[in-house]
Amino acid sequence: MELSIIDWLIIILFFVITLGIGLFFTQKAGKNIESFFLGGRNLPWWLAGTSMVATTFAADTPLLVAELVANNGISGNWIWWNGLIGGMLATFLFAKFWRRANIITDVELIELRYSGKAAAFLRGFKAVYLGIFMNAVIIAWVNVALGSLLQVFFNIPADQVIFYLAGAMFFVMVYSSLSGLLGVVMTDFIQFILAMIGSIILAVIVVNSEAIGGISGLQAKLPAATFEFFPTFGETAEVFSISFATFLAFVGVQWWASWYPGSEPGGGGYVAQRMMSAKNEEHAIKATLFFQIAHYALRPWPWIIVGLCAIVLYPELSADEKRLGYAMAMRDFLPPGLKGLLLVAFLAAYMSTISTQLNWGTSYIINDLYKRFLHPNANQKQLVRASRFNTFLLMIVALIVTSQITTLESAFKFMIECGAGLGAVLILRWYWWRINAWSEIVATIAPFIAFSYTHFYTDLKFPESLFVTVGFTTAAWLIATYVTKPTDSKVLDNFYEKIQPEGYWQKQTKKKSQLGKLLASWLLGIGLVYSCLFGIGKLIFADWQSAVIYGLVGIICAWGVHRLLNND
């Protein structure tokens, strides 16, 4: 496919603006690693929150949703919709703790909360595990999505795509290594707006094409179960519906048990990075709340609509190729000018995620490995230089891993399974004094053992395999907790005094507990976002009565959250 001159001009202008922002923030980012990785801890909630949303919106996201919808209908999205439950937990119970901790990375919390050689080992291990291994898998996954897009758009041979991806990553590496987090979040803001505009335009054009015939035409061309927000169970269940066991695994286990970037139980990762970069605790809570609303309720529907249309338009695609339907719709239905805009939108989504992953991954390597163990006396200029160099090295590792990813859904499932069971420890370490470094070490390693067993020695498939993995991991870390020594009392006292957590601690406090109010906010927040998500969907499909009901529930939940947050 050939792009017009106006398409190329739009693309070039976007790259110039992005690079300009990177250059503008270079000096501020170079002051110290707090400026490089946290933007000086002065981000307003709307900027920090938008950056969270932009980071989770990569080139892979619409393609993944299209793949899920094509294989399982709308209800297939519960594989990630369930993350809202844990996300709201992080919003109301943990965001203030992360900001209050005054640390550079979430991994640094390990030696603030735990003691001894086990804590030091865990910090170094997780710096490598998250900063290199897991981060490279995430970047590779995002690269596969962009590679699919480039193949469809430009007919690039599969064996040459890696060179184009290397060029795209090199550009992102340059501006993110120059500007640090400040440049990343500012470009995130612009990139998110472009990506959402492009997604909405594509959805409107495709669904109103002659081949589809509007929403009513789309509904007439697909089985009714395709459009169900909740799965149907039993022998009468139609095609395009997940099983009861699958749904139960998603809403009953995955959200609290599995570690996954962007929806970690207890916060963590780049979401915690944005919390820690906020102006204060209030801005950290508001940023995370905005992220949950935008991520789960506002963004998905343009992707879902195009994914549904792709089922009709490209029935010949195999299960492993379903993600290509989204890119093919872009190629086949957009006129000149809009092709360039949509391609820029996807490049923007890609770059916002890659820039964050490079910055976030590098923060672990520099703050929790290099500074902590290898060069503890390094000055701030040396640390910033090392950060920029490591950003380049991380890019190289991610490109190597890219060749090992096959489908988006398989990579998504692998990441969820290999973190299954760890989530409980990440939540309880804030609320139970007895959790120690060995609890987290065992909970990090055990899922890999259970994953290997279920995949090589049983017929269990994801997500049913989660029950085994989570059960094994939970038993393992509980045993480890009670057979090993607790955290040193002085470390626990210092952590308690600094964080002021609720929960079960050796030392008693006379302060009035806020846990009931926080849990009520959590439940109301869940109701608010799911009501918005389903209400918007009912509006799109012209189910006016259901849309009104969801709207009223959402208003009540929003009012309740507002009252609770403003009633001290």
The residues with which 278 forms a beta bridge, in sequence order, are 43
Residues 455 and 465: beta-carbon distance below 8 Å: yes
pLDDT value of position 233: 64
Q: What is the pLDDT of residue 323?
A: 76
Co-location of 134 and 259 in the same domain: yes
Query: Does residue 292 fall inside a structural domain?
Result: yes
Read off the CATH number of the domain in which 304 is found. 1.20.1730.10
Amino acid at 316: E
- Encoded tokens for 304: 């879902």
Radius of gyration (C-alpha) of the chain in whole angstroms: 23
Cα separation, 327 vs 340, whole angstroms: 13
Residue with tokens 């290999």: 418
Q: How far is residue 128 CA from its own chain's centroid?
A: 19
Are 64 and 323 in contact, with CB atoms under 8 Å apart? Answer: yes
* Overall domain count for the chain: 2
Q: What is the pLDDT of residue 84?
A: 92
* C-beta of residue 257 within 8 angstroms of C-beta of residue 466: yes
Residue 99 lies in a domain: yes
Domain boundary among 376, 391, 413: 413
Query: Who's near 378: CB < 8 A, 6+ residues apart?
Result: 370, 371, 386
As a whole number, the mean pLDDT across the chain is 86
- Residue 501 domain-assigned (yes or no): no
pLDDT of residue 405: 62
pLDDT at res. 49: 93
DSSP classification of residue 513: P
Residue 431 gets which letter from DSSP?
A: T
Decide: residue 161, CB within 10 A, 0-12 exposed, 13-18 middle, 19+ buried: buried
Question: Bridge-partner residues for 33, per DSSP?
Answer: none
pLDDT at 168: 83
Cβ atoms of 413 and 72 within 8 Å: the answer is no
Cβ contacts of 7 within 8 Å, gap of 6 or more: 336, 337, 339, 340, 343
Angle made by CA atoms 85, 87, 88, in degrees to the nearest 5: 70
pLDDT at res. 407: 54
Last residue within a domain, chosen from 384, 413, 442:
413
For residues 179, 184, 186, 188, the Cα torsion angle rounded to the nearest 10 degrees is 160
Which of these three, 382, 413, 444, is where a domain ends?
Answer: 413
CB-based contacts of 339, cutoff 8 Å, min separation 6: 3, 4, 7, 330, 331
- pLDDT, tens digit, for every residue of 237-283? 445 566 777 788 888 888 888 776 667 778 778 889 899 999 999 99
Per-residue HEC secondary structure of 335-381 comes to CCCHHHHHHHHHHHHHHHHHHHHHHHHHHHHHHHHHHHHHCCCCCHH
Query: Is residue 545 classed exposed, middle or buried when 0-12, 13-18 and 19+ CB atoms within 10 A define those classes?
Result: exposed
Tokens 């009861």 sit on residue:
244
Identify the DSSP state of 2. P
H helices present in 25-134, as ranges: 26-29, 33-38, 45-56, 60-72, 78-81, 83-89, 95-101, 109-113, 116-128
**pLDDT tens-place string over residues 116-139:** 999 999 999 999 988 888 888 888
The confidence score (pLDDT) of residue 235 equals 46
For residues 469 and 421, the answer to whether their CB atoms sit within 8 Å is yes
Contacts of residue 85, defined as CB under 8 A and 6 or more positions apart, other chains included, come to 251, 255, 256, 526
The model's pTM: 0.87
Kindly state whether residues 395 and 539 are assigned to the same domain. no
Please name the residue ranges forming H helices in 458-514. 465-483, 489-499
Any domain includes 485: no
Query: Domain range holding 61?
Result: 5-21+40-230+237-413
Q: What is the torsion angle, in degrees rounded to the nearest 10, for the CA atoms of residue 431, residue 432, residue 436 and residue 441?
A: -60
Spans of the chain below 70 pLDDT: 1-3, 233-242, 260-262, 403-413, 506-512, 568
Nearest to 99 by CA among 357, 273, 263: 273
Whether 386 and 363 have beta carbons less than 8 Å apart is answered as no
Q: Is residue 172 part of a domain?
A: yes
- Same domain for 104 and 251, yes or no, is yes
